[in-house]
Structure 1
Amino acid sequence: MSYVEDLLDDIWQIDVDTTPKDVTDETKRAISDFFGVTIAGFQNPAAKPILRHIQMHSSSSGSSLLGTSMKVEAPMACLGNGYAAHVYDLDDCLQSTLGHPTAALAPAIVCAAEEANATGADVIRAYLIALEVIGRIGRVANPTTSERGWHCSPVFGVIGAATAASVLLGCDKATTAMAIGISCSYASGLRANFGTHVKALHMGAAAERGLEAAELARAGTTSSLTALEGTDGFFQVFAGIPPNSVRYEPSTNWELQDPGLMYKRFSCCSGMAPAIEAILEHPQLRESDPAEIESIHVGTSILSPMELVHPLPQTAMQSKFSMQYAIACPIVHRKTTLEVFNNDSYVQDERVQELMKKIYPAVDPELAERGMTADAPVKIRVDFRDGTAVETRRDYARGNPLNRLSDPEMREKFMGLCAPVLGTSGAAELYSSLTALESAANVRDLTDLC
């Protein structure tokens, strides 16, 4: 059989009632985090263009734009919710895909679940199956896919969105395999667009096309069963793997356990988080005078220079992908709240601009041995004008699976994002409902709270 048939055979029997509790709990954390970042994301001024586009191309319909009063056509809801989920760059990450999974999967899940009047348990199952699909494909294709300049989040995310939507729309394994084959031809997204609106657009487009792939397959559209491993298939094109050389290997691991999701605290690329924390948690560095700093040398892993492509950012969008800003921001502004990564004035501050010119990132030989790790470890050396120096390092940011955020910390993040939109009581009610997702009789009961 083909790779996709073997993969689906292996995971199709996933059932919420027999899934380990820590796995279902982690699914609820991921979905809750998605709702939080998406509801807040529509308040970001950078979401205005996508909302204008949706209003121009969608009549009133039954799919929710989370955190707004708008009901739109399902494809537009996927596009909008995916964009909003990623516009702050606060959504989760997964090592095996080297990207952000839930921002692509969850918009398609919400739309398909609303259409099907699905239960919360249905949503959990669809998410688990989809995450296993992209995680196992990602383990085969990466790190080459990322090394070639693809934005892995939509490249794998569209496949996951197609899978999840197929499950919720009642497709059988054979039809879901067709949807995955269709989505392989939709896979796209260039890292060249980091620091612009297009990065968030990648997530919305992946969700939209994933849902479309599922609906096309359900309508009878066929695709190649070897679209993954065959000649000119996904693995060959995105990862340079010789055609028909990959065979599916069953696994007993859950992606949510190994490697697990990384949840973010800062509104920027996850590759900046360890550097930010290294400064914030060092008593001398977080209180240092920028004018007294001679130079800062930052040792990084090999993924860092591929993602952090703006050495001297001029806009908030660019600042999210800058190691220089990751260091200068906490030193100059002494805070890393939402606005410092989403307001141009913080980036254009003269003190920040001057300090960034003194910051020199370079791949560190020791950290390079960790390969294409999304952990983004850093070593930092700060040399002061008086001849003294301070050295520090950070291997794992808070929120990494090896340095987990607690449930209260996850709730605090959610409330901080949603309370300004829904009110404190409304946000609390929604969070409580999401943490009991398996009990929801209809997903619309949750989206109606938004």
Structure 2
Amino acid sequence: MATVLELIAAQVVSRNTFSSVTLARARDAITDTVGCMLAGAVDAAPQAVASAFAGDIGAEGASSLVTGGRASPPLAALVNATAAHCLDFDDNFHPARAHASAVLVPALLAVATANASISGYQLVAAYLAGLEAQASVGFGVNPSHYNRGWHGTSTVGCIGAAAGVACLMGLGADRVAQAMSLAASMAAGPKGQFGTAAKPFHAGMAARNAIEAALLSRAGLTGRLDILERHQGFLDLFGGDQAAGWADLPLDGAHVIETRGLVAKLHPCCASTHRAIDAALDLQAEHGFSLDEVIRIETKVGRSARDNLAYPDPADEMQARFSMQYCLAVALLQGRLSLSDFTPEAVSRSAVRTHMAKIAMDAYSPEEERGVERLPHKVSITLQDGRILHAERLHAKGSIACPLTDEEKRAKFTDCLRWAGIDGDDMHGVVAGLGDAASVRTAMEQVAR
């Protein structure tokens, strides 16, 4: 009887045709992630990672780093994925409870830029393989795994990305399964690190580990193919008390990017804030109030979101990204959030701080959440004139239920370039065209120039 890893590997290797919707969404995700990588390159987190391994970075390495120089593919993935995730502007993927693209795209680009023969279509196909593998691994352990405190980006993301990298390397289903098995031994990352530079490092760690697992598999190293489901395996140790396992794992059918999609972020902060922000902005647009007119704001979110948002009085920009009070106050004060709202100076603004005490956050009970995959986040706003306004959101702006417009996608990419100090009017077209490039390496060299 085939193991779970063998079933997943056989599925992702055999899927070689994709719908136009699937391909378009994958290309959008890759473009969005490259924008986040470029914006994040100037942040302290990837700069520190690059500095730590400066002796292994030079002009002659196989893969390019967004922080400058070239290095081996695993090191390039480590730095670039840290950059992709450090501003928390990269997409979310609910089936894996992970920042799927922040791991996948840097890992795949590190391999593709080391081999001029890899085409854009191969990159997209490998991305889709890795995404489906992440969804399949996450199916068996989430949401219990995530609620227990594991950062799915560096656990589920690592294992799934190993499948994508192995596919890009042209490995067969047996070696793809072995790459995932080895990656399961590398999966780690506690959510207790949220609000620190270790969180984006989790994405870098997962991307590096995915490449190393695929390389080790290609070289013949093996692990147990039943490591997900066996005693003392991934489910047993990481799953939590409500993890279902993979007995009902759906395979075949439409690709998960078409049925579930990704959530492209409109706001550069923890996704746990987004539905409340969107609901509050909806109320502000409808009723025309200012934050000065607000007496009280009450929010109700999922338990995992409450745990993620651990900083009601953030001390710096990293903590501010995980503060409902800060993010919601800024959004209602300005009508939007931008990358410039997450600097030490911005976080200390008295104009924002005076309103944060008005904002409270509560969470659903375990009983309310039991057996329900997704509950809406709710907002109640009490105004000085006595009105109490209510709104709720099941899906954030940027989900397939409420997608970003083409103009919003382009504006986000431009904002990322501006934040990085890059003047690249034609760069969006180059990155958006990666999926059609004859050589990913050649196309990315144009971006680098």
Instruction: Give the Cα separation in 1 of the matches to 2:104 and 2:233.
Output: 22
The two structures have a TM-score, normalised by structure 1, of: 0.90
Instruction: Give the Cα separation in 1 of the matches to 2:213 and 2:425.
Output: 33
**Hey, what does 1:431 align to over in structure 2?**
428
The two structures have a TM-score, normalised by structure 2, of: 0.91
Deviation at 1:423, TM superposition (A): 4.8
Aligned: 1:445 with 2:442: yes
**Hey, what does 2:177 align to over in structure 1?**
177
Aligned: 1:306 with 2:307: yes
Residues 243 and 28 of structure 1: CA distance in aligned 2, closer, same or farther (over 3 Å): closer
Helix, strand or coil: the match of 1:262? Answer: coil
Consecutive unaligned residues in structure 2, runs of 5 or more: none
Range with bigger deviation, 410-419 or 152-161: 410-419
**Hey, what does 2:6 align to over in structure 1?**
5
**Hey, what does 1:239 align to over in structure 2?**
239
**Hey, what does 2:277 align to over in structure 1?**
276
Deviation at 1:238, TM superposition (A): 1.2
Instruction: Give the Cα separation in 2 of the matches to 1:63 and 1:43.
Output: 19
**Hey, what does 2:140 align to over in structure 1?**
140
**Hey, what does 2:263 align to over in structure 1?**
262
- Is 1:126–1:167's contact at 8 Å kept on the other side of the alignment? yes
Consecutive unaligned residues in structure 1, runs of 5 or more: none
- Is 1:37–1:88's contact at 8 Å kept on the other side of the alignment? yes
- Is 2:104–2:127's contact at 8 Å kept on the other side of the alignment? yes
Deviation at 1:8, TM superposition (A): 1.8
- Is 2:4–2:228's contact at 8 Å kept on the other side of the alignment? yes
**Hey, what does 1:149 align to over in structure 2?**
149
Instruction: Give the Cα separation in 2 of the matches to 1:272 and 1:334.
Output: 15
- Is 1:116–1:169's contact at 8 Å kept on the other side of the alignment? no
Helix, strand or coil: the match of 1:379? Answer: strand
Instruction: Give the Cα separation in 2 of the matches to 1:331 and 1:307.
Output: 21
Alignment of 1:165-204 (within 5 A): 165-204=165-204
User: For each residue in 1:240-269, what CA deviation from the matched residue of structure 2 results, as whole angstroms up to 9, or x when unmatched?
Assistant: 479997445423131111211000011101
User: For each residue in 1:104-133, what CA deviation from the matched residue of structure 2 results, as whole angstroms up to 9, or x when unmatched?
Assistant: 111110111123331111111111111111
Alignment of 1:44-123 (within 5 A): 44-60=43-59, 61-66=61-66, 68-117=67-116, 118-123=118-123
- Is 2:159–2:187's contact at 8 Å kept on the other side of the alignment? yes
Deviation at 1:414, TM superposition (A): 1.2
Helix, strand or coil: the match of 1:257? Answer: helix
- Is 1:116–1:168's contact at 8 Å kept on the other side of the alignment? no
Instruction: Give the Cα separation in 1 of the matches to 2:104 and 2:173.
Output: 18
Which residue identity does 2:406 align to in structure 1?
Answer: D
Aligned: 1:338 with 2:351: no
Instruction: Give the Cα separation in 1 of the matches to 2:420 and 2:234.
Output: 41
Instruction: Give the Cα separation in 2 of the matches to 1:355 and 1:431.
Output: 37
Instruction: Give the Cα separation in 1 of the matches to 2:389 and 2:286.
Output: 8
Which residue identity does 2:290 align to in structure 1?
Answer: S
**Hey, what does 1:288 align to over in structure 2?**
290
- Is 1:298–1:378's contact at 8 Å kept on the other side of the alignment? yes
Helix, strand or coil: the match of 2:382? Answer: strand
Deviation at 1:6, TM superposition (A): 1.8
**Hey, what does 1:210 align to over in structure 2?**
210
Residues 427 and 151 of structure 1: CA distance in aligned 2, closer, same or farther (over 3 Å): farther
Deviation at 1:362, TM superposition (A): 0.9
**Hey, what does 1:362 align to over in structure 2?**
362
Residues 147 and 69 of structure 1: CA distance in aligned 2, closer, same or farther (over 3 Å): closer
Instruction: Give the Cα separation in 2 of the matches to 1:283 and 1:242.
Output: 40
Residues 368 and 244 of structure 1: CA distance in aligned 2, closer, same or farther (over 3 Å): closer
- Is 1:328–1:356's contact at 8 Å kept on the other side of the alignment? yes
Residues 377 and 249 of structure 1: CA distance in aligned 2, closer, same or farther (over 3 Å): closer
Helix, strand or coil: the match of 2:257? Answer: coil
Which residue identity does 2:9 align to in structure 1?
Answer: L
- Is 1:297–1:361's contact at 8 Å kept on the other side of the alignment? yes
User: For each residue in 1:131-150, what CA deviation from the matched residue of structure 2 results, as whole angstroms up to 9, or x when unmatched?
Assistant: 11110111111011011100
Residues 330 and 70 of structure 1: CA distance in aligned 2, closer, same or farther (over 3 Å): same
Helix, strand or coil: the match of 1:383? Answer: strand
Deviation at 1:285, TM superposition (A): 7.3
Residues 436 and 385 of structure 1: CA distance in aligned 2, closer, same or farther (over 3 Å): closer
- Is 1:262–1:399's contact at 8 Å kept on the other side of the alignment? yes
- Is 1:296–1:381's contact at 8 Å kept on the other side of the alignment? yes
Helix, strand or coil: the match of 1:131? Answer: helix
Which residue identity does 1:141 align to in structure 2?
Answer: V
**Hey, what does 1:327 align to over in structure 2?**
328
Instruction: Give the Cα separation in 1 of the matches to 2:127 and 2:378.
Output: 36
Q: Percent identity?
A: 29
Which residue identity does 1:433 align to in structure 2?
Answer: V
Deviation at 1:386, TM superposition (A): 5.5
Deviation at 1:54, TM superposition (A): 3.3
- Is 1:236–1:243's contact at 8 Å kept on the other side of the alignment? no
Helix, strand or coil: the match of 2:303? Answer: coil
Residues 408 and 294 of structure 1: CA distance in aligned 2, closer, same or farther (over 3 Å): closer
Which residue identity does 1:2 align to in structure 2?
Answer: T
